[in-house]
């Protein structure tokens, strides 16, 4: 057992009994939404996971401890502190733990801590990827590298629409990460269902996703798997509206010289402002949708063992 890792009693019991567990990130709480909407959403996601037969494990770093499973009070703490909490990627974990500080886990660090604890499935909104203009900036999310070597299945609504989706797919292909489309052959574009880009394989049931991940693990293949689950049609945004907002937000980030780990929270918040809050509601609904599918997949996987 990792000496820095704390697994909540609920999650530890579920793992010990061979029950399905689904990991959740904490950056979406601290950096993704305003207070109290962030806390309300986080608790709702946990309830959705329970309603679908699995146990939620929200992941974070608190006081230098890697936490797999948060209490409602800890979720409230993260929601209130918001962006005062450091956004923690792989490079930050050791320093935060050594200093006894807090960290909001990204896709990367949530995968890492989930794997340490023995959790195989993770529901999130969208992964990071290759940023627009990366041929000059080299701004590529650590999420893609983590998917290449950490054996966790990530269920998302595609890469965040603020990114270069084509280059993101190319990078995943190079690193050998299978990209599955749930009931679609097209990569969903986070706020919308269409990108014009193809995934590697279409899958039509949680059982099919579980069987592919099972085969990957049994073969000893390294790395994780990405499942892209389109936002429900009734919550999808008009492509023209969302792309116009994204283009403006990206232009403003360049003007203001916003870089590194600050750029994604800035872009998501600015897009929410430019769309009158519509993108925030879409974001929440796609997370709920991914939590359902992740829970069903975790249940199907557990039934195979």
Please write the tens of the pLDDT for every residue from 63-92. Answer: 999 999 999 999 999 999 999 999 999 999
Judge whether residue 261 has pLDDT over 80.
Answer: no
Q: Which of 43, 28, 37, 39 is nearest to 110 (CA)?
A: 28
Beta bridge partners of 203: 182
Can you give the pLDDT at residue 236?
Answer: 94
The residue from 25, 46, 76, 146 that is catalytic is: 25
pLDDT for the residue 278: 83
State the Cα–Cα distance between residues 224 and 213, nearest whole angstrom. 8
Superfamily for 1-119?
A: Indigoidine synthase domain (3.40.1790.10)
Task: Show Cβ contacts of residue 179 under 8 Å, excluding neighbours closer than 6 positions.
Answer: 169, 172, 173, 187, 199, 200, 201, 226, 228
* Main-chain phi, psi angles of 178, to 5 degrees: -70, 135
Asked if pLDDT for residue 106 goes beyond 70, the answer is: yes
Question: Which residues, at least 6 apart from 53, have a Cβ–Cβ distance to it below 8 Å?
Answer: 20, 295, 296, 299
Give yes or no: 160 in active site.
yes
Query: Which listed CATH number (3.40.1790.10, 3.40.50.970, 1.10.4160.10, 3.40.50.10420) goes with 125-305?
Result: 3.40.1790.10
Question: Taking residues 198-203, what's their average pLDDT?
Answer: 98
Rounded to a whole number, what is the distance in angstroms from the first to the last CA of the chain?
22
What was the pLDDT predicted at 87?
A: 94
Expressed in percent and rounded to 5, the helix, strand and coil fractions of the chain are 50, 15, 30
CA–chain centroid gap for 24, Å, is 7
| 271 Cβ contact partners less than 8 Å away, ≥ 6 residues apart | 162, 242, 245, 246, 249, 279
∠ CA 176-20-89, nearest 5°, is 50
State yes or no: cis peptide before 61, omega within 30 of 0: no
Are 1-119 and 125-305 the same fold in CATH? Answer: yes
pLDDT tens digits for range 159-193: 988 889 999 999 999 999 999 999 999 999 999 99
Pick the catalytic residue: 67, 87, 160, 261?
A: 160
pLDDT for residue 161: 80
Q: Is the pLDDT of residue 146 over 70?
A: yes
Q: State percent of the chain over pLDDT 90.
A: 80
| More reliable by pLDDT, 202 or 32 | 202
- pLDDT tens per residue, range 223-252: 999 999 999 999 998 888 888 988 898 889
Confidence of residue 266 (pLDDT cuts 50, 70, 90): confident
pLDDT for the residue numbered 27: 95
Average pLDDT value for residue range 116-121: 98
| Count, residues in the chain | 305
Q: Is 80 a catalytic residue?
A: no
- Is the pLDDT assigned to residue 19 strictly greater than 80? yes
Reported as a single tens digit per residue, the pLDDT across 28-58 is 999 989 999 999 999 999 999 999 999 999 9
Q: Which of 103, 67, 64 is nearest to 83 (CA)?
A: 103
Residue 139, pLDDT score? 87
What band does 17 get if pLDDT is binned at 50, 70 and 90?
A: very high
Kindly report, residue by residue over 267-292, the tens digit of the pLDDT.
878 888 888 878 888 899 999 999 99
Tokens read off for 199: 């995934």
Q: What is the rounded average pLDDT for all residues in the chain?
A: 94
Provide the phi-psi class of 76: left if phi over 0, else alpha when psi is between -120 and 50, else beta. alpha
What tokens appear for 270 in the block?
A: 């600015």
Q: CB of 53 within 8 A of CB of 109? A: no
**What is the mean predicted confidence (pLDDT) over 109-117?**
98
- The domain ranges of the chain are 1-119, 125-305
For the entire predicted model, the pTM comes to 0.94
The whole-number pLDDT of residue 1 equals 57
């Amino acid at each position: 057992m990792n000496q820095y890792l704390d697994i909540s009693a609920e999650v530890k019991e579920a793992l010990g009994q061979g029950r399905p567990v689904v990991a959740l990130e904490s950056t979406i709480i601290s950096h993704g939404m305003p207070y109290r909407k962030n806390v309300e959403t986080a608790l709702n996601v946990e309830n959705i996971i329970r309603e679908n037969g699995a146990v939620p494990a929200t992941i974070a770093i608190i006081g230098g401890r890697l936490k797999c499973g948060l209490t409602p009070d800890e979720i409230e703490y993260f929601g209130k502190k918001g962006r005062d909490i450091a956004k923690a990627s792989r490079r930050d974990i050791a320093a935060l733990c050594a200093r006894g500080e807090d960290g909001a886990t990204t896709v990367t660090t949530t995968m890492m801590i989930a794997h340490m604890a023995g959790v195989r499935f993770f529901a999130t909104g969208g992964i990071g990827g290759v940023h627009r203009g990366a041929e000059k900036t080299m701004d590529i999310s650590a999420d893609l590298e983590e998917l290449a070597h950490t054996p966790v299945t990530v269920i998302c609504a595609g890469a965040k629409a603020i990114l270069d989706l084509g280059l993101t797919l190319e990078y995943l292909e190079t690193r050998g990460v299978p990209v599955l489309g749930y009931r679609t052959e097209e990569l969903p574009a986070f706020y919308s269902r269409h990108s014009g880009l193809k995934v590697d394989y279409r899958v039509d049931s949680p059982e099919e996703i579980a069987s592919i991940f099972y085969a990957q693990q049994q073969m000893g293949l390294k790395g994780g798997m990405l499942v892209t689950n389109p936002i429900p049609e009734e919550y999808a945004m008009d492509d023209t509206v969302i792309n116009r907002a994204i283009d403006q937000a990206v232009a403003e980030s360049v003007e203001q010289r916003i870089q590194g780990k600050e750029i994604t929270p800035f872009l998501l918040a600015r897009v929410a402002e430019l769309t009158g809050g519509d993108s925030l509601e879409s974001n929440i609904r796609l997370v709920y949708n991914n939590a359902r599918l992740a829970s069903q997949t975790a249940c199907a996987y557990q039934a195979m063992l």
